[in-house]
Structure 1
Amino acid sequence: MSQKTSKCLSDAIANLKSTEKELLQLGKLMLSADDGKLFPVDLIAIGAMKRTASNTEGFIGLVEAQNMTSARSLLRVQLDTFMRFSAIWLVDSPHDFAHEIIGGKHIRNIKDRAGNKMTDSYLVETLSKEYPWIKNVYDNLSGYIHFSAQHLFNAVEKVDDDTRTLSLVIGKEDQKYPEWSWIETVDCFTESVNIFFHYLKGWIATKNV
């Protein structure tokens, strides 16, 4: 999924856990920038940081519990976090945009500087120019958010063509996935967090100008 691959699952989890410290550091830098002044975009950033911190903690717990179904659902939620935060860079007035979000307006109903409504599909298309992997990952993970055939596939433990039998599982653990699949999922989550950090650092730099 992501561009970087960890050597083993424990390394992948350690890399993801290390983002917690950076998140706190970036939060301090943002709130102290420009002599501590608070802007509407800061409020959006704080919400995205809180969501990222909560998503990360929950995701790690799900991976350690071997719950791939819910882990991938949460990965999709984290993709949504940086995708929508990135919309700030697509509008002429970031603070007006932030005010609209704070007021309850959906991002999908807000237009960018070129007049395009910033729907999820539009944001995915825009971000894919810099991060080509996003579209396929987003499309695949969307099936985990809404009840779909993907949930049936996850319940299939084994198919034996010789005996024409199907083994199904309805337990909470997903033990059929090989380690590389877990590593891929965790690395992708870490990449999603790092992309959010990229945009967050951009905002901090803007405040400090």
Structure 2
Amino acid sequence: MTTVGTTAGAEQALANLVRAETGLLDLYQHQMVNRPFGYQDLYLLGIARRTLANGQAFKKCVEDRNGLVAAALLRLQLDTVLRLYALYWVADPEDFAGRVFGGEQVDRLKAADGRQMKDRYLIDKIKDRNPWVEPVYKNTSGLIHFSDRHIHSAIRLDGNDGAAQFLLGPTNPEHEFAEFQELLEAFFHCTGMIVVAAGDWFANFDTIHRRQPPPGKEMRPTS
């Protein structure tokens, strides 16, 4: 958190995030009712579940002024974006979704061009149209695993005499809501990308994507 925003800007970003989450729920409630579905649909259900779970925790972190975990959740939301867009780069989306359903990791599977879908590959595929993705990925990746970022977050240095203070609490009480504007905007953009991509995928299921029901009886979601 290095950019100081405004209270109005942070409030608008939060409102945008809530609107995107509502849009995601509306999309799935419209698309996933009373029809057969396959592995791609299950994949998209997992995407939505993680998106909304991350969002709920992220908003709570903002409310608590817990910037350390809020930034880590932003990284997780970006990971969800990358894994959703992976569907666009594989030769057979239904087979790919089925393999992930069976426990295989996305980054160990290959795209249609034969390359493994590591984070670097997925970022390169979307960064031209979304240049903010790369710096957000770089700035938040150090918060997933324990790193120097966590150590520095526990230290406060007095600029006058160099005295150190140690912060052991879970939150950042010195942070104002306005300081979360940048994080809120980035989280909203990630969530918005998920809504758009999922909507596009649903719209094109029956024309360009193959669907194969999972083994066992046919499943028809009703709510």
TM-score normalized by the length of structure 2: 0.84
Task: Give unmatched runs, 5+ long, in structure 1.
Answer: none
For 2:114, what is the secondary structure of its paired residue? coil
- Give the distance between the partners of 2:61 and 2:142, measured in 1 at CA: 18
What is the identity percentage for the equivalent residue pairs of Structure 1 and Structure 2?
Answer: 31
Per-residue deviation at 1:178? 5.1
Distance 1:203 1:132 in 2: 22
Judge conservation of contact 1:6–1:187 (CA < 8 Å) in 2.
Answer: no
The amino acid across from 2:201 in the alignment is W
Greater relative CO (CA pairs within 8 A, separation 6+): 2
Alpha-carbon offset, residue 170 of structure 1: 1.2
Count of residues in Structure 1 that have an aligned counterpart in Structure 2: 203
- 1:62–1:70 CA contact under 8 A, matched in 2: yes
Name which of 172, 175, 186 aligns with 2:173. 175
Partner of 1:31: 32
Q: Are the counterparts in 1 of residues 65 and 175 from structure 2 also a CA contact under 8 Å?
A: no
Query: Does structure 2 conserve the Cα–Cα contact (< 8 Å) formed by 1:29 and 1:204?
Result: no
Residues in 2 aligned to 1:162 and 1:70: alpha-carbon distance in whole angstroms: 29
Contact 1:6 1:12 in 2 (8 A): no
The list of structure 1 runs, each at least 4 consecutive aligned residues, that deviate by more than 6 angstroms after superposition, is none
CA distance in 1, matches of 2:64, 2:146: 22
Residues 113 and 208 of structure 1: is their aligned pair in 2 closer, same or farther, counting only changes over 3 Å?
Answer: closer
Aligned: 1:127 with 2:126: yes
In structure 1, C-alpha distance between the alignment counterparts of 2:175 and 2:124, rounded to whole Å: 30
Write the letter of the residue equivalent to 2:160. D
Rounded Cα–Cα distance in structure 2 between residues aligned with 1:206 and 1:39: 14
* Structure 2, gaps ≥5 residues long: 208-223
CA distance in 2, matches of 1:192, 1:72: 13
Q: CA deviation at 1:167?
A: 2.2
Shift of 1:199: 1.0
Query: Residue type matched to 1:197 in 2?
Result: V
In structure 2, the residue matched to 1:52 is: 51
Give the stretch that moved more between structures: 21-30 or 160-169.
160-169
Q: Distance in 2 between matches of 1:57 and 1:49?
A: 12
CA contact (8 A) 2:65 2:176 kept: no
CA distance in 2, matches of 1:53, 1:204: 18
Counterpart residue number, 1:192: 190
- The answer to whether the Cα contact below 8 Å between 1:92 and 1:112 also exists between their aligned partners in 2 is yes
Q: Is the 8 A contact 2:39 2:97 kept in 1?
A: yes
CA pair 207-6 structure 1, distance change in 2 beyond 3 A:
farther
For residues 148-167 of structure 1, the aligned pairs below 5 Å read 148-157=147-156, 159-167=157-165
- 1:42 matched to 2:41? The reply is yes
Deviation of the 1:208 alpha carbon = 5.1
Alpha carbons 1:63, 1:182 under 8 Å: kept: yes
Report the RMSD for the aligned CA atoms in angstroms.
2.0
Distance apart, 1:179 and its partner CA: 4.5
Could you tell me which amino acid in structure 2 is paired with residue 169 of structure 1? L
CA distance in 1: counterparts of 2:188 and 2:155, whole angstroms: 28
Counterpart residue identity of residue 20, structure 1: E
